[in-house]
């Protein structure tokens, strides 16, 4: 899928250009206000993810090589979703890896990263990318993640705070699926 080229972007903020710039400026009737999207072309997916995430301080300050490897791995495995609004603008992103409990524990504690092969299969989900432009988008991602990832045993992720600290997080999937309404 190739994105149409146009100068009809509705925003000048980097990463906020419409996914399909030739689309009508107003939200299309019948289109959900938020939806998950996964482009057919991996290069398009990577460009959209980078365009969105590069504006977020938690991602903008990461080492390019390391972060590129994570994004390319997520996209090549299909372990990601873009969140698009009714105006075809990207509002969020979630990316993950599937791995064993042992490897997920080592990752969340900062003892090691995950290789591509270690991220293909497992009963645990490592959420290593999550971005939401608003609380509404965040709630949408939570709801969708419950459906997509509910069959696994545990979720692992890291909370990054403005003061530079990081908190390792672990959730039993049953607690995640039943909580946060």
Q: Give pLDDT tens digits for 28-69.
A: 667 789 999 999 999 999 999 999 988 887 787 777 888 889
Domains of the chain: residue spans and CATH: 34-178 (3.40.630.30)
The pLDDT tens digits of the residues spanning 110-151 come to 999 999 999 999 999 999 999 999 999 999 999 999 899 888
CA distance linking residue 113 with residue 63, whole number of Å: 14
Q: Is 27 exposed, middle or buried (0-12, 13-18, 19+ CB in 10 A)?
A: middle
Stated pTM of the model: 0.79
């Amino acid at each position: 899928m190739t994105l149409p080229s146009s100068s009809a972007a509705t925003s000048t903020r980097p990463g906020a250009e419409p996914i399909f710039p030739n689309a009508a400026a107003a939200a299309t009737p019948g289109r959900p206000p938020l939806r998950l999207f996964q482009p057919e072309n991996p290069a398009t997916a990577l460009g959209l993810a980078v365009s969105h995430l590069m504006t977020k301080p938690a991602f903008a300050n990461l080492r390019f090589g390391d972060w590129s490897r994570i994004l390319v791995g997520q996209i090549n495995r299909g372990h990601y979703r873009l969140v698009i609004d009714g105006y075809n603008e990207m509002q969020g992103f979630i990316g993950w890896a599937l791995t064993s409990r042992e490897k997920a524990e080592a990752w969340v504690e900062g003892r090691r990263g995950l290789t591509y092969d270690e991220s293909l299969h497992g009963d645990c989900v490592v959420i290593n990318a999550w971005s939401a432009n608003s609380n509404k988008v965040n709630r949408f991602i939570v709801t969708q993640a419950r459906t997509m990832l509910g069959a696994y045993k545990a979720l692992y992720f890291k909370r990054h705070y403005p003061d530079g600290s990081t908190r390792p997080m672990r959730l039993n999937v049953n607690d995640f699926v039943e909580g946060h309404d």
